[in-house]
Amino acid sequence: MEDKSAAESLISRFQIERLLNQDQSDRRIALLGHIDGKQGILIAERAAFATDSLEVLRAFHSSDNDIYKWYMANASSPVNGDYGSSPPDLKLNLIWPCTAQHIRKYSAQPVRMVTETPQIYREYIRPYMQQKREEGRLNWIFNILEGRTEQDDVLLRDKGDSPDEDGFLMLPDLNWDRKTISSLHLLVLVERRDIWSLRDLKRRHIPWLKYLRQRLIDATVKTYEGRIEEDQLKMYVHYQPTYYHFHVHVVNVMLEAGQTQAVGKAFGLENIIGQLEAIAGDDEAGMADVSLSYFLGEASELWSTVYEPLKKGEKL
């Protein structure tokens, strides 16, 4: 109850500053605000979001990991003072305290398609990844991997043949309501820390990737037995990812394909395996040796510090 009260108090203390973004179907909005003088981002999702319901948000279930918190909530008024009498119709994600990078990520902005050559990756993107990892932004992932937070949510923890290299765990994604199978979205975090993104994948990783793929399919079908089948699942990784620790998304193929699943953001796991098999060279040849095209928001650091100057012919 103390945790519940503390979680609810954060939502009630959230002071809205401005709307960052709203999707075209009005199912998801991102709001910038502050709690106790520290900026935060509140993301709310529902089937048909009513903006006049902001005053009656009330959380009754929550999870907390570092700066990331999520809630299930009601947007309707209580019945005789009892919020528990009606099912939750909102999923709230709170990032607090948030960083300038979070604000850029969730703000509405024009996007650009860029092509990252092996040279650009080596000279500019890899050092950028190193910098972000050293800033401590992976603490929430390590909290989960090392058993400090969200352990009740872990659906599968597989140590594999070699815990240092093959282990992984699977849990519900922050954006899934955990009950609607048609919008199933699971997140897979690998134990190994030498793979930051798909750029680190090499031909020698093909057996591991195939093992990982099959274990994820088997575990998902078993966990939701009778509700989903193998050919109703798809798996992908993001590039550029939000955080530089290799992870895989497992979703229902019926999940509405928003920007996170769009071409230029999501790379299918099966396609990555196939591309690695087709790459010429020895076992050390891999995804760092090919050019990749993807989109970036104009507010992103990579656009403003790397690709825009390159486009203008400026020296970085």
Q: State the catalytic residues.
A: 247
Q: Which residues pair with 45 in a beta bridge?
A: 28, 91
Find out whether 238 and 267 touch, Cβ atoms under 8 Å. Answer: yes
259-273: buried (b, 16+ CB within 10 Å) or exposed (e) per residue? ebbeeebbbebeebb
Is the four-CA dihedral 296, 259, 151, 88 of positive or negative sign?
A: positive
| Cα 272 to Cα 119, 235, 269, 314, distances in angstroms | 20, 11, 5, 33
Pairing of β 111-116 and β 292-297: antiparallel
Query: CA nearest 187: which of 225, 235, 151, 146?
Result: 235
Contact residues for 212 (Cβ-Cβ < 8 A; gap 6+): 168, 188, 190, 248
Q: What SS3 state is found at 98?
A: coil
Q: Where are the alpha helices (DSSP H) in 59-205?
A: 100-106, 118-120, 126-134, 139-145, 163-166
